[in-house]
Amino acid sequence: MQNKGTTLLIVEDNHDLRNGLKDILSFEGFTVLAAANGREALNQMKAVHPDLIISDITMPEMDGYAFFEAVRTLPEGVTIPFIFLTARGERDDVLRGKNLGAEDYLIKPVPGRDLVTAVQSRLTRFRQLQLAQMEGAYQAALTALANGIEVRDRYTRGHVERVTAYTLAIGEALGWRGKRLDDLRYGAILHDIGKIFINENILKKASTLTEEERAEIIKHPLRGAEMVKDIPYLAQAIPIIRSHHERWDGTGYPEELSGEEIPVEARIVAVADVFDALSSTRPYHSAYTTEEAFDHIINSSGTHFDPMVVNAFQRAWESGKIQEIAAKWHNYPIESEPLP
């Protein structure tokens, strides 16, 4: 049953009503705790954290408002969904509760169906909100992790953010939406994560790399893929991390894949990555103008890059999106990866 494992707390001084509510919700599979007033409810909350609270307003000892405020001061109570029960016609109650920040009201007597629907929809909304917040926090954590590479090297500042923005602009030009764009975003954020293993002196080196140093650098796609392989949430990022240095004509690395053997997400990030590398100042070359970098991408269609992706990039350029992103980050000097 879908409600199993969800704990509700009912706070109501009327014994019959309290038991009636409890029976209805228990029948739906919820675990239901009950208390006769706010004080008793707070005591129960020391042992159990309910997922949702339904509380009467007028009660002895501690009324619904005082209880609501007490719950919101508890660290674990800040976000618990809260539904007030109010007698018909108590409009002032509704207003006062709204001012406190309670979102939901049920008017007594509550038909069983309405009660169950209100509880379930409140829980669903709360879980959606929680998930959205978690994803936001997750993405911020990933970006911070990816930026960990940049912190070691002043030349790489902003590279992750710009490549991610260019990548999404290309994805949107291809008509991608929703989860497909999200997966693309994670891959772009993490594409160079494997560089975390590369010695700083190599990353910062302005002169030509030795054979050994180059061998070290070209390991970063496989090392990065290895780093995230046990995180199921990031499974879609792996092909991007692994294959963002492959070339359409088969002369890239690490696997010398060609054409459509290269995952399309990686073909997109490749364009974004090179465009950014060219239009940013790096230790071993000064920046192209954005127009020069754009020309280079167009001229490499069918050799380095997938023509379909280059077309999408061109559409994003023509809509002004690419220039907008470049201008926004213009003040950051960047990265030292040898040109892909």
Active centre residues (catalytic): 195
Stretch that binds Fe ion, among 170-178, 179-187, 268-276, 323-331 (CB under 5 A): 268-276
> Is the CB of 11 or the CB of 203 nearer to Fe ion?
203
Number of residues that bind Fe ion (CB under 5 A): 2
Binding mask 50-89 for Fe ion (x = CB under 5 A): ----------------------------------------
Taking the CB of residue 332, how many other CB atoms lie within 10 A of it? 18
Residue labelled with tokens 């038991």: 19
> Is the CB of 93 or the CB of 273 nearer to Fe ion?
273
* Bridge partner list, 105: 84
The CB-of-175 to Fe ion minimum distance in angstroms stands at: 25
Q: How far is CA 143 from CA 50, 137, 279, in A?
A: 34, 10, 22
> Is the CB of 122 or the CB of 267 nearer to Fe ion?
267
Of 150, 153, 246, 273, which lies in the binding site for Fe ion, with binding defined by CB under 5 A?
273
Site for Fe ion in 160-199 (CB under 5 A): 192
Contact 45, 9 (CB under 8 A): yes
Residue labelled with tokens 């969800």: 6
Nearest to 171 by CA among 322, 283, 21, 64: 322
The yes or no reply on residue 153 touching Fe ion (CB under 5 A) is no
- For 184, phi then psi, to 5°, come to -65, -40
The CB-of-221 to Fe ion minimum distance in angstroms stands at: 6
The CB-of-192 to Fe ion minimum distance in angstroms stands at: 4
Site for Fe ion in 191-250 (CB under 5 A): 192
Site for Fe ion in 30-49 (CB under 5 A): none
The CB-of-191 to Fe ion minimum distance in angstroms stands at: 6
Helices (H), the chain: 15-27, 38-45, 64-73, 91-100, 112-151, 159-173, 178-190, 200-204, 211-217, 220-228, 238-243, 264-279, 290-299, 307-318, 321-328
> Is the CB of 122 or the CB of 242 nearer to Fe ion?
242
> Is the CB of 13 or the CB of 192 nearer to Fe ion?
192
* CA quadruple 262, 266, 272, 276: dihedral sign: negative
The CB-of-159 to Fe ion minimum distance in angstroms stands at: 6
Nearest to 227 by CA among 127, 148, 280: 148
The CB-of-194 to Fe ion minimum distance in angstroms stands at: 8
What DSSP assignment string belongs to 291-326?
Answer: HHHHHHHHHTBTTTB-HHHHHHHHHHHHTTHHHHHH
Nearest to 64 by CA among 47, 49, 86, 81: 86
> Is the CB of 37 or the CB of 164 nearer to Fe ion?
164
* Bridge partner list, 8: 32, 52
| Contacts with Fe ion, residue ranges (CB under 5 A) | 192, 273
